[in-house]
Structure 1
Amino acid sequence: MLRDIISNDFFTIMLVVGMALIATAKLTSPKRFNDFISVLGNSKYLKIYSREQKFFDKFDALLFANLIISVSLFCYISFKFFTNTNTISPDTMFKISFGISVFILIKVFIERLIGSLFEIDAIIDQYLFQKISYKNYLGLVLIPINALLLFSFRPTLTFFYVTVILLFIVILIGLVTSFKAHQSLIKHNFFYFILYLCALEIAPCIILYKVIISK
């Protein structure tokens, strides 16, 4: 019986699709894209476009689609490296992508629901916009990393550690920026802030980790 192996052609297609999504976002909103590129060192993007956000934003949707593709590829490459296996069928990639999408979207839905229940929709919408922006930025960072891991050299444990630290720094910058923007509100509601961190930031990650290692 033949093993199901995902060839580099499949990876190449996914990388090209991801880059096409980014190119489309840049072509449709060139000024916004240029502002987005500098989001790590400049809060201009967050201040301007958080006021213009819509329930469905085509620019964010394109970058989010690339995020799902990029994260899925990195997860597969990581799994392949740490388990030393090539026996993952192509539909597994789609399952990974679907699982990541559902995980993020359900989390966003719950946070929006909480915002509606406590009548703080404006604050939650701004906070979610900031988080999604930094997550979408991860999608950009992962494209060259995935390309290197797939086509340039054999991945090493050190490279994975450096990559994870880099991604963590991007996420941390996003969290610090968001918390700094709402620091006065956090100070007056510190208990609820800690409760939020435990329930909606830390707990989902722990649950996801438990699900992954149990497979």
Structure 2
Amino acid sequence: MEAISRNLNSIDAITLLLVLSLIMITIVRFFYRTRFANYMILPINNKYVTIYSKKGRMRSWFHFGNLLFQLLNFSVFAHLVAKAFTEKDEFQFLEVYLLFGFGLGLYLFSKMVLQLCAGFIFDIQGKILELMFNKQSYFNYSAFVACIANIFLAYIFPDSKSIIYLALALIILINISCIYSLINVNQNIIQNRFMYFILYLCALEIAPLVIFASYLKG
């Protein structure tokens, strides 16, 4: 009997990663039912961050599971976006997936280190940890949008730019709601230290994003 080799194509790889991410989020939901229920209404009710920003913050398996879910789905989404906007017939899945996954992980890690350093220097570690938890929770949540978009782009409407634009708009909207919530809660601190707030935005929000975009472009 002659052996037949079968190469794993991009759809097979995407299916495997999507199933893996869905299994992961199902396990998280199974072990953290109440927390997951609060998490699912995060964009319309910040009860989740109010309760859990003081309880272990980012050192929980729940947060870690959502972080992995985010990395898996955003990396797949990046590949599907790149595939939709390129004229190549065969777009290398592994190349884009690993590039974006590594870049996103490096970006998040760099931001975390910079924010922790800033918290240590200005002796506001507690506030910085709370801020990091809030922003990361919203960013992780927006991965649900990416996951749904991945399913549509991979199996129902391949290369649909409308789906991509809609998903990007929802992802941006979710994260803008996080910024609005943070500014609303901390408006007294921001007003009293407005220059520090501007420096924070430039050094810890905008600068890492520019470096990340330059890395991907390169």
Q: Which runs of 5+ in 2 are unaligned?
A: 1-6
Whether contact under 8 Å (1:134, 1:174) holds in the other structure is yes
Structure 1 position 123, deviation (Å): 0.7
Runs of 4+ in 1 over 6 A off after TM superposition: none
User: Which of 43, 57, 65 is the equivalent residue of 2:60?
Assistant: 57
Identity %: 27
Partners in 2 of 1:35 and 1:55 — Cα distance?
16
Say yes or no: does 1:46 pair with 2:59: no
Q: What do you get for the CA RMSD once the two structures are aligned?
A: 1.7
Give the corresponding residue for 1:113: 117
Whether contact under 8 Å (1:70, 1:142) holds in the other structure is yes
TM-score scaled by structure 2?
Answer: 0.90
Query: How many aligned residue pairs are there?
Result: 211
After superposition, give the CA deviation of every residue in 1:62-110 in whole Å (9 maximum; x if it has no partner).
0000000011011111111111332315254234212211210111111
Q: Which runs of 5+ in 1 are unaligned?
A: none
Give the corresponding residue for 1:93: 97
User: Which of 71, 76, 79 is the equivalent residue of 2:74?
Assistant: 71
Give the corresponding residue for 2:29: 26
Structure 1 position 209, deviation (Å): 2.2
Partners in 1 of 2:215 and 2:17 — Cα distance?
25
Whether contact under 8 Å (2:10, 2:93) holds in the other structure is no
Structure 1 position 212, deviation (Å): 2.5
SS in 2 for 1:164: helix
Assess, with a 3 A threshold, how the Cα gap between structure 1 residues 156 and 87 changes in structure 2: closer, same or farther: closer
After superposition, give the CA deviation of every residue in 1:8-40 in whole Å (9 maximum; x if it has no partner).
111000001111111111011100000000011
TM-score scaled by structure 1?
Answer: 0.92
User: Which of 143, 156, 164 is the equivalent residue of 2:168?
Assistant: 164
Whether contact under 8 Å (1:36, 1:45) holds in the other structure is yes
Say yes or no: does 1:153 pair with 2:157: yes
Structure 1 position 112, deviation (Å): 1.1
Higher mean Cα deviation, 54-63 or 121-130? 54-63
After superposition, give the CA deviation of every residue in 1:34-74 in whole Å (9 maximum; x if it has no partner).
00000111111111111102452110000000000011011
Partners in 2 of 1:69 and 1:95 — Cα distance?
12
Say yes or no: does 1:199 pair with 2:190: no
Assess, with a 3 A threshold, how the Cα gap between structure 1 residues 18 and 163 changes in structure 2: closer, same or farther: same
Assess, with a 3 A threshold, how the Cα gap between structure 1 residues 92 and 75 changes in structure 2: closer, same or farther: closer
